[in-house]
Every structure is written in structure tokens, then in C-alpha cells.
Chain A
Amino acid sequence: MYEHLETAENRDSLKRVVVDPVSRVEGHGKVTLLLDADNKVQQARLHIVEFRGFERFIQGRPYWELPVLVQRLCGICPVSHHLAAAKAIDQLVGIDPENLPASADKLRRLLHFGQVLQSHALHFFHLSSPDLLFGFESDISKRSIVAVLSEYPEIGVQGVKLRKYGQEVIRMVSGKRIHGTGAIAGGMNKSLTKAERDYLLEDIDQMITWAAGSVALIKKVHCSNLPYYDEFATIRTNYLGLTKPDGALELYHGGIRAKNEHGEIIMDQVDYCQYNDYIHEEVRSWTYMKFPYLLSLGQENGWYRVGPLARVNNCDYIDTPLAEAARVEFKAHSGEAMVHSTLAFHWTRLIEILHCAESIKQLLNDPDIMGHDLVAQGEKRYEGVGVIEAPRGTLFHHYQVDENDIVTKANLIVSTTSNNMAMNESVRQVAAEYLSGRELTEPLLNNLEVAIRAYDPCLSCATHAVGKMPLQLELVDVDGKLIDKLVKHSDGQIEREHG
């Protein structure tokens, strides 16, 4: 589609524009554009400039540390890493998902629904709603949750409280809002008390109402400017994710399903322990993030998208009534088998928030979450693979241990990695369709960030900042001379410096 913009030919003669860092996403990344003399974009790339090294430094540690150690990859979705690692180490003690005690399975699901709810709420309300409510090129002073809280206080407060509720679910199950414990090999370390269960039940109906309201809000925003929302940063891709055996939306455990851009099945109900036979990763020199692709389709055509849009596109139905009704409405709006609009990530994200809230209510009313049969154990194994649908998409954890229980090898395919190619393509689409040939301004460049932000990338799975991150834009002419420079300071002030 826009691959021709990945690498320009006459790079030395082009102007370079850098968006560094990309703001209101988790982690550190930058976008570089190379422009010719007419400001036509010749090259556009999203670079991930951090290096974490978790796969290496967990080697040599005992396997039971993994869920607690690897969750430190992220402050937003630690639970997903915690649970993916837990699913992998379950296998090391001989427990497959179907042998996990019912109480442990349901507590983990509850924990995960809380996680997806709070992460999605954070992303939509705190990070993305300013773009969607005020416009992509709105005044910079408005592009933060603070402006949302002052101009749309009801929406802002609901967002903050939805997130808080998800965090409280996590705290009740794992002891802390961020980086608790909970999942251990073969089960969980505690169940809910009646008091804890009742505390969470108190507000759940309110959360379902607000979640349903947020779906109505995004539908209104999306449909009020339908052609633009359907085309902005849009690319036609394959999609991958877990589904239940009957094709229902699934976040905690299922088989891998992939569909192509026409909605045809590429593979279905693949055992994720065999992921290595289906998915490979490619490395490119200009970024620390790898490029995964489906082996059967090859490097060029095998890349795919993951996350809420992929899950809602891939599933046949959602097993909670309000979210299912929202899904049907969502699919109907485009009239296509698959919705490819990148901004539809937001819509699907909110459908999932609703699904999480409904599912939390179901689980809270299930007595198993207060059960005491929490841990199972079987024959020791030396290899474990845990896969989960994290808020940002399919997350793979794969470990090998030796006879002394020490980790010898680890491979993690983090959700955002799967969207690497897609994010680059979306950046190029925006650069080519909306920026090329125009004089670049700071608000205009926010369009690039809006495209990236739709994917809710977790670039480092660790750090994040809201709003006013420092930003520096340099316009360099063909001779390398700085002709224009915009500096956004951390206090939000913008200054133009002439070279």
C-alpha cells in the first residue's frame, strides 16, 4: 500500500522532520519524515528507540518469579504480562488451562477483565479523547485530559472513574492496583472475600451504564464525520487474535484465529503452543521493534493487526448482550465483512470496555470466585507457552527451564510488536494523504500521532506520559541547513527558533 515510503532513494538530498517523542502513548518512539523540495513526503517511519532486554535478563532466574518479574515490563498492562507468564508457568508444573481449578480460572479472568477495562479507559479518555473531542489539529492547550475535564466534565469524570473501577478490581484480586501478585504456578494465591466481592458489586451497574454511554459517544463521533473516520490512516490488512472454540470474543484463553482483509479464515483454533510454526519475526536496522508475520503468507503479505479492532473483526459474536448489540451495530456501519478503519480501534475498544464491565458483573455473581480450591499441580515440564489477549492485542510468552527450575530461554512477542508494520503503514498513509506538499505545523504533525495513538501502542511497555511531553521539530533544507525549528517545552510552551 504505502511500502514505497519506507525507504527513499535519494535520502541525503531530502529534508528531515522528526516527531520525537510521540506523545500520549506508552513508551518512547519517534517519527521521521523525509521531504523533497516541494514538501512531498518521500519517506516516513515510526522508530522505537528504547531497548529493554527483558528476554535476556530473566534468564538465570527461577521460573516462579516470572509473573511478578515480567509484569514490570509495563505500568499500564502489567496484569496481561503477569497472566501470560502465569499461563506459561502453569505448564511447567504440568497444568494445562483446562486443568486449572475453576476458582483460579475465574479469578484470573476477573483480574484480566479489570485490567482490560482500566487500560482501555486510560487510553480512550486520558490519552485519545482530546483528539476526538477537540479535533486532530486543535490548539495544543486543549490536547490533554485536563481540557476534557474542564469542557466535558461529565465525560472526563466518567473516564477517570471507569479506570479507577478497573484498578479496584485488580487490587481486590492481586493486592495492589499496579504490580501485585495473584497468579502463581498452577493457580492463584487468594480468592475474594465476601466483603471484597460486595464492594466491587456496589458500583458495577454504574460502570456498565457509563461503558454503554462511551460506546454511544464514540459512535456519534465516528459517524458524524464518517468518510473521514473511515479513511484516516486506514489500511486493509490481515487480523489475528484468540477466539473461543465457537468463535466468540475471548480475552483470556482460546485458539488463534487469523482472517484476511476480506474476512476469509487464514487459520482457526490453532493451539498457541505451536505459534512458532505459524508466526516468525523479522528485524529491520532502523528500529528496536521486530516485525512479526504469518509464515504461510510470507514477509511481504503476512503482517497483520492485533488488538480491539482485530478481535471484534475476528470474532463471530460477543457473549454478553450489550456488547454484542454494540458489535452488530459497529459491523453494520461499514457494510463490509471486515472494518479496516484505523480510527475504529477506538470504537471497538469501547465495545470491549462494555464487554469487560458486563463480564465482571457475571463473575462477581459467581460463587466460584470465593472458592478455596485455588492451586493444582501435575508433572514437571521444561517448556511453557502462555498467550493472552492483552488490551493492545495478542501477547506471547514462551519460556524454557532446566532441571533446577532456572529459566534458560525466553521469547516474548508483545502486542504492540504485531502492530509495528501496521502503525508504520498508517503513518505513511497519513503522511502521503494529509501532510504531503503542505507546510508542516505542529497541529498538522499531530495527525501522525493520532494515527499511532489509535493503536494504543505500548512502545516500551513501561513509561508513559500524558499531554505535555517535550517535542522538537526541525526542518532542514537540502543542504542540511536548519531552516525552521519548533520547540515544545515540557511546560507546553511552543517556541519558534530560526536556524
Chain B
Amino acid sequence: MSKTITIDGKTIPFEDGQTIMDAAMAADVYIPHLCHQPEFTPHGSCKLCTVNVNGRNCSACTFPAMDGQDVLSETKELIDDRKKITQMLFVEGNHFCPSCEKTGNCQLQAVAYHLNMLDNHFPLFYPDRNVDASHAEVMIDHNRCIFCALCVRASQQTDGKNVFALSGRGIHKHLIVNAESGLLKDTDVDVNDQAVHICPTGAILVKRTGYQVPIGERIYDHQQIDQVSLAASGSRPVATLPPSLAVGKEHPKHGK
């Protein structure tokens, strides 16, 4: 008989070596996350996937699944904590969704909608961060970096390069690039690198492509992040998208 854990009372099988997140994804159970992608070494930094395992909080993306674990995820307390973490991510940077080209395709925004985050709650930091547009095809807008290190891992583990790194600690943490000048143009980054396309927010962008996908055809226009995330993990097919614009006199769901 295979080994199992329970998540919010639902029995879920797992194989040795899987984390709680791996097991959950395989079983179509969504646990919110931002810094995790199954193909990379777990980072455990965003803490959105915090679950309660046998009475103790831990990150689902790094904690190994073990037979008989009783995991709680969708409790009021954990949902509130996730919302607070997301609010902190928003106030710590400069995230202006209304004019951001990533809107509708942004995981940070989508998680915030999923968690029903309706305000920032905390005062905005308004940090003074710069834009590195020095590279001909790729741009970094540091205002939107949440330090998930996905670009760092993608550059190392997929692209076989070492373009990005996180430097500093705590509130001084920041994304750096591998060039003496500190500028992206002096690195060996290429627009086709996976690192350029993996950013969950609008921090790393391909230049001159913003707003080309019309409202109605963006990733989260018709599906919440839990559906998209599970579909992307390959465990179930993507739901058929409704027409790009729901034509009708009723008030259809708008883009974000």
C-alpha cells in the first residue's frame, strides 16, 4: 500500500523524495506559492506555501512528505498569514499594477486576487530603486523584484550561466547581475534564456513587448492562479478559455 498524507482532511498519496508541495500538485491541491517552480531546487523564501504539519508551521515546498502527516493549508489563520505576507511584498517594492505591463500575467497580482487582498494594509515603503534598461533586449525594473531567486536558479540550472544573484540581507537584499559595471548589458544574458522569462512579477522583462497581449487573453483574465498553476503542473488540462471578450450586455468579468 502506498504512503499517504492528508491535506485539509483529503488523503493524498506520495512517493519517497517528494515534498508536501510535490504531492499536493500531483493531487490537484493548490497551495499558494511564488518562489517555487517544480523544475528548480526549492528555495523556501516567499513563505506563502506555509502549511501546518502535525501542529507545526513549515514551508510545503521544502518539507518532505512523510507517511501519516496531517497537513492543514486552507485554515483561516494560514490564509490570513498568506495575505499579510503578500501585502508586505507589495508595500516593500513599488508595484503599480494599473500601468504595469505584467498586469494580468503577474503571479504576485494573481496570488493577491486569489487571497482576496483588497488593500495594502501596511504603509508603503516607496523604496528608491532603479531601472536597468542598458541591455538591448532585456530590462530589469528593480521596483518590482520580490527576491524569489527564480531567475538566479533558472540562469544556473537551465541556462548554464550565472547572470543573477541576490546580495545583501533583510531589507537591504537586492538583485545583482554578474558584471563589474553592475549593468545587464555587460553580462552574458540572452533574450532566449529561461531566466529572462521566469520572473513571476514584472521585474525582468523582454523590451518592447509590453501590452501586446490584449485584455481577455492574458493568463489570469479568466482563470485564477490556483487553476492555472495546477494546469501548468501537468496534472489536469487547461480549462477551455471563454471568448477573449465575453460579448454581452451583462457586466462581464473585467481584466485586472
Q: Give chain A's interface residues, CB within 8 Å of chain B.
A: 60-62, 64-65, 67-69, 72, 93, 171-172, 174-177, 179-182, 184-185, 189-190, 193, 195-196, 199, 404-406
Contact = CB atoms under 8 A, between A and B. Distances in A.
26 contacts: A60-B131, A64-B209, A65-B99, A68-B101, A68-B211, A72-B98, A72-B99, A93-B208, A171-B245, A172-B247, A174-B215, A175-B214, A175-B215, A176-B255, A179-B98, A182-B214, A184-B211, A193-B243, A193-B244, A193-B245, A196-B247, A199-B247, A199-B248, A404-B133, A404-B134, A406-B133
A405 B133 contact: yes
A195 B214 contact: no
CB-CB nearest 4 A-B residue pairs: A175-B215, A190-B214, A404-B133, A69-B99
Nearest to B141: A62
Contacts of B139: 62
Nearest to A171: B245
A176 B101 CA distance: 15
B210 interface: yes
A189 B214 contact: yes
Interface in B19-42: none
Contacts of A193: 243-245
Nearest to A192: B245
Nearest to A380: B208
Contacts of A176: 215, 254-255
A484 to B, nearest CB: 42
A181 B215 contact: yes
B200 interface: no
Of B98, B213, B215, B243, chain A has the most CB atoms within 10 Å of the CB of B215
Nearest to A375: B212
Contacts of B245: 171-172, 175, 193, 196
Of A175, A176, A405, A406, chain B has the most CB atoms within 10 Å of the CB of A175
Given A60-B131, A64-B101, A68-B99, A181 B214 contact: yes
A65 B101 contact: yes
B82 to A, nearest CB: 28
Interface of B: 98-99, 101, 131, 133-134, 139, 207-217, 243-245, 247-248, 254-255
Nearest to B207: A405
A404 B245 CA distance: 35
A180 B255 contact: yes
A64 B209 CA distance: 8
A379 to B, nearest CB: 14
Contact of B210 (A65, A72, A182, A199): A65
A306 to B, nearest CB: 27
Given A62-B133, A195-B243, A405-B207, A175 B255 contact: yes
B105 to A, nearest CB: 12
Contacts of A182: 214
A252 B185 CA distance: 39
Of A64, A93, A195, A405, chain B has the most CB atoms within 10 Å of the CB of A64
B99 A189 contact: no
Contacts of A93: 208
B129 to A, nearest CB: 11
Contacts of B215: 174-176, 180-181
Contacts of A172: 245, 247
A184 B134 CA distance: 22
B39 to A, nearest CB: 30
Nearest to A67: B211
Contacts of B213: 189
A60 B255 CA distance: 27
B98 A64 contact: no
Contacts of B101: 64-65, 68
A193 to B, nearest CB: 7
Nearest to A195: B247
B208 A405 contact: yes
A449 to B, nearest CB: 31
Contacts of B244: 190, 193
B143 to A, nearest CB: 10
A62 B214 contact: no
A182 B210 CA distance: 11
B94 to A, nearest CB: 11
A25 B134 CA distance: 43
Nearest to B208: A64
Contacts of B209: 64
A62 B247 contact: no
Contacts of A68: 98-99, 101, 210-211
Given A172-B245, A180-B255, A190-B244, A62 B99 contact: no
A189 B208 CA distance: 13
Given A72-B98, A190-B214, A406-B133, 20 more contacts: A61-B131, A62-B139, A62-B207, A62-B210, A64-B211, A65-B210, A69-B99, A171-B245, A172-B247, A175-B215, A180-B255, A181-B211, A181-B214, A181-B215, A185-B208, A189-B212, A193-B243, A193-B244, A195-B243, A405-B208
Contacts of A195: 243, 247
Contacts of B133: 62, 404-406
Contacts of B208: 64, 93, 185, 405
A406 B131 contact: yes
B212 A175 contact: no
Nearest to B210: A64
A82 B214 CA distance: 15
A97 B15 CA distance: 61
A93 B209 CA distance: 13
